[in-house]
Amino acid sequence: MKRVVFLIDMMSFYASVEKVYHPHLFQHPVVVAGDPVRRSGVILAACPVAKSYGIKTAQALWEAQALCPEVTVLKPRMQLYIDISTQINELFLTYTDQVEPFSVDESFIELTGTVHQSQPEQTAKSLQKAILRQFGIYARIGIGENKILAKSACDLQAKKRPGGIFHLHKNRLANDFWPFAIGELFGVGNRMEKHFMQTGIRKIGHLANYPVEELQHRWGINGELLWQYANGIDPSPVTPDTHQQKKSIGHGMTLPRDYHQRTEIFVILRELAEEVARRTRDERLIGNQLSLGIGGTYENPVGFSRQLTLNMATNDGRVIYHACQKLFDRHWVGTPVRRIGLSLEKVEPDTHRQLSLFDEVEDRSSLNQTLDALKDRYGGGIIMYASSLTDAGQALERSKKIGGHYK
């Protein structure tokens, strides 16, 4: 029995939601962007009308306004988008219990073994109509017998067709999939694209017909995985808990200005450490490896990415912060910093802990639980280190946001 998998993508999701709440803007160019005053003026979503002027996602706001001076700029409302995304996924559950959110505006669903399996195109049209009727949002749907085919059908074909639906059959890869540029293949980033181009692999079909042994020898398991994708091979299941099986928990921040002083940078390191620790505790996990990434400025892009194994697994912010200090002092060369990323890796359930014979152990779990309860009830800005109230601190401002954007 062939599987039937959908990848459902909400077109210009943030902008589409805003047009539902601002119906007078339905025929007008609309973009959702960050706060230009804090140098986060980047286009997060552009409606089709705005795109007709050449406006693109991730474009600087000033560039978009130069292309279309009459464009309406709306600040993002992340909590609203998350709530509507959740409601849309609840709609999918009326078709199948195998629903896997892939991002806030994309979901995989599996119809194999359901009454909808025999007529996937008709089911896709039914879903489109239901989403448009209930939420006012237009969806594009890719259909395939596995997740890579469904994703490719949506991204490469459905998004470019008036009906917004495309079924990528495995016996049609040579016609409907292989002619696309290698950079269009899911999983191929800019660096890998350059490697492939240097090898003479310019199309997805070139990769599909390339000796897999050579790909394995040069790029290891990643080379073989991309070869499988190019040939439409993907045995991974559609499962609701796929993204709940975490291997790491991280948090990153682009700073509103260049940070030059070690003391200022440490304020951000402490804030990130506390945020990562809190999220780790929320998942009832602990981790024993720390990864710290420091990004420089556009003019001076010197940075580093390093890891440190902790003496014992933890979800305590103070322990994570002190480890960050060590990593930073060991590798920072004094150049200005514009971005910081921190993650706690090799996480496992917080059901037992390995005690160290050499380190003093202080039980801070009760204190952390109290702090978490306060923040859950009153918000993340209710209590924080005094250093976060200095000019360097960002915790108070970020407590008003979700995913780096205002709620």
User: Are both 88 and 220 inside the same structural domain?
Assistant: no
Q: Count CB atoms within 10 A of the CB of residue 173.
A: 19
> Residue 152, CB half-sphere, CA atoms under 13 Å: how many?
32
Show which residues are catalytic. Answer: 106
> Is residue 9 a known part of a binding site?
yes
User: Are both 125 and 3 inside the same structural domain?
Assistant: yes
Sheet strands (E) in 2-138? 5-10, 30-33, 43-46, 72-74, 99-103, 106-110
Angstrom distance (rounded) from CA 266 to CA 325? 7
Angstrom distance (rounded) from CA 160 to CA 155? 8
Q: Which helix (H) or strand (E) holds 79?
A: helix 78-92
User: Are both 254 and 111 inside the same structural domain?
Assistant: no
Q: What is the C-alpha radius of gyration for the chain, rounded to an integer number of angstroms?
A: 24
What would the DSSP string read from start to end of 214-234? HHHHHHHHHHHHHHHHHTT--
* Range(s) of the domain holding residue 195: 175-230
Asked whether residue 106 is assigned to any structural domain, the reply reads: yes
Residue 362 sits in a domain whose CATH number is: 3.30.1490.100
Joined tokens for residue 185: 């293949």
Q: State the pLDDT at residue 39.
A: 41
Q: For the chain, list residues with pLDDT below 70.
A: 35-40, 241-247, 351-363, 366, 374, 380-382, 395-407
Q: State the pLDDT at residue 361.
A: 46
User: Are both 160 and 180 inside the same structural domain?
Assistant: no
User: Are both 113 and 197 inside the same structural domain?
Assistant: no
**Residue 36 three-state SS:** helix
Asked whether residue 238 is assigned to any structural domain, the reply reads: no
User: Are both 153 and 23 inside the same structural domain?
Assistant: yes
Q: State the pLDDT at residue 96.
A: 93
> Is residue 329 a known part of a binding site?
no
User: Are both 26 and 101 inside the same structural domain?
Assistant: yes
Strand partners, 252: 341
Residue 211 sits in a domain whose CATH number is: 1.10.150.20
User: Are both 125 and 194 inside the same structural domain?
Assistant: no
Asked whether residue 180 is assigned to any structural domain, the reply reads: yes
Asked whether residue 240 is assigned to any structural domain, the reply reads: no
Give tens-digit pLDDT for 254-289: 888 899 999 999 999 999 999 899 888 888 888 989
Pairing of strands 401-402, 405-406: antiparallel
**Residue 7 three-state SS:** strand
What would the DSSP string read from start to end of 141-202? EEEESSHHHHHHIIIIIGGGSTT-EEE--GGGHHHHTTTSBGGGSTT--HHHHHHHHHHT--
**Residue 96 three-state SS:** coil
Asked whether residue 239 is assigned to any structural domain, the reply reads: no
User: Are both 255 and 306 inside the same structural domain?
Assistant: yes
Contact 10, 16 (CB under 8 A): yes
Residue 160 sits in a domain whose CATH number is: 3.30.70.270
Sign of CA dihedral 300, 305, 310, 313: positive
Domain count, the chain: 3
Angstrom distance (rounded) from CA 323 to CA 293? 13
User: Are both 146 and 17 inside the same structural domain?
Assistant: yes
Burial class (CB in 10 A: 0-12, 13-18, 19+), 149: buried
